[in-house]
Amino acid sequence: MTFKRSALSLCLLLTACGPLANARAERIEARNPPQGQMVQVGRATVHAEISGRGPDVVLIHGASGSTRDMEDLARRLSPRYRVIRFDRPGLGYSSDLGKDGNSPLVQADYLRAAATQLRVKDPIVLGHSYGGAVAMAWALEDPGHTRAVVLLAGAVLPWDGGLDWLSRFASTPVGEATAEPFVAAFMPDWALNRVVKNLFQPNDPPPDYVESTDAELALRVDTIRANLRQLNALKAHLWLMAPHYRDLHMPIEIVHGLADGVVDYKIESLQMTALPNVRVTAAPGVGHMLHHVIPEEAVAAVDRAAARAK
């Protein structure tokens, strides 16, 4: 009887997670409204923020992020560049593309279509972490009009192994119906702060990082779902993309922290030096969120890419 009551209680809790998660998402969006403009691409919407004047630089954020994660870097680049920040499909305020959006190539297609509407011309495309895969996809899809690529701890090559079992389970049909709504409904603020701290290790995040970057947008159930689907599918798409990198001839600048515990320097960046157009800057003692820890190196990489592209 005790087991039956426990099972019933669990079922009732999981049933309640959906409405609770949706209500929490509404509160999160009310606190963190979009700051830029919405660009219609087919049936999808792409959220973009633009600042500065000069040659175009496109900034693409990583997993669980949004345009706000790139705000500080955009501010530093805006005096000399026109900076366009996009929310990747399914994250921030850009539409989820469903399973099609699991492909960095498809994501890049939508972002390029939005960029065309914004009159972006021959941009330098910068991507952080997962955004690095989308930046490389952008270059592969439109090499003639991609001035240069900058990768900040970019996940651009396939690696051994995969995600942890919980992340794999969460993106299954059962996990999407149970684990994802549960996390979206009940994940506490302290847990979000712990995730951020782990992302920055061994460095400390800025004291106001969670608030200033609207990090809680990542806790919406639709965002959790899209993010996990994309992460679980990434390696398979990189196997298809990586052999074609040798066909790219534009400058590629890479900056990667040697203490990065999220995206491995030796696998993702050091191996890229086999390509003649790739230059890598290694940052000792720096973890995954280098655009916040050593933003001056990210700006310098953009400047080097621009100079090489001339």
Q: Is the model's pTM score more than 0.85?
A: yes
In a domain, residue 21? The reply is: no
Range of the domain at 301: 27-309
What's the pLDDT score for residue 174?
76
What's the pLDDT score for residue 6?
45
In a domain, residue 18? The reply is: no
pLDDT in tens, 78-87: 999 999 999 9
In a domain, residue 38? The reply is: yes
pLDDT in tens, 168-203: 776 777 777 778 888 888 899 999 999 999 999 999
What's the pLDDT score for residue 40?
98
Task: Reply yes or no on whether the pLDDT at 274 is more than 70.
Answer: yes
Instruction: Report the alpha-carbon distance of residue 176 to residue 167 in Å, rounded.
Output: 11
In a domain, residue 289? The reply is: yes
Number of domains, the chain: 1
In a domain, residue 75? The reply is: yes
In a domain, residue 12? The reply is: no
Other beta carbons less than 10 A from residue 97's beta carbon: 22
What's the pLDDT score for residue 289?
98
In a domain, residue 57? The reply is: yes
Q: What is the CATH number of the domain that holds 88?
A: 3.40.50.1820
What's the pLDDT score for residue 173?
78
Closest Cα to residue 309, out of 179, 166, 107, 146? 146
What's the pLDDT score for residue 12?
42
In a domain, residue 71? The reply is: yes
Angle at 155 between CA 154 and CA 159, to 5 degrees: 145
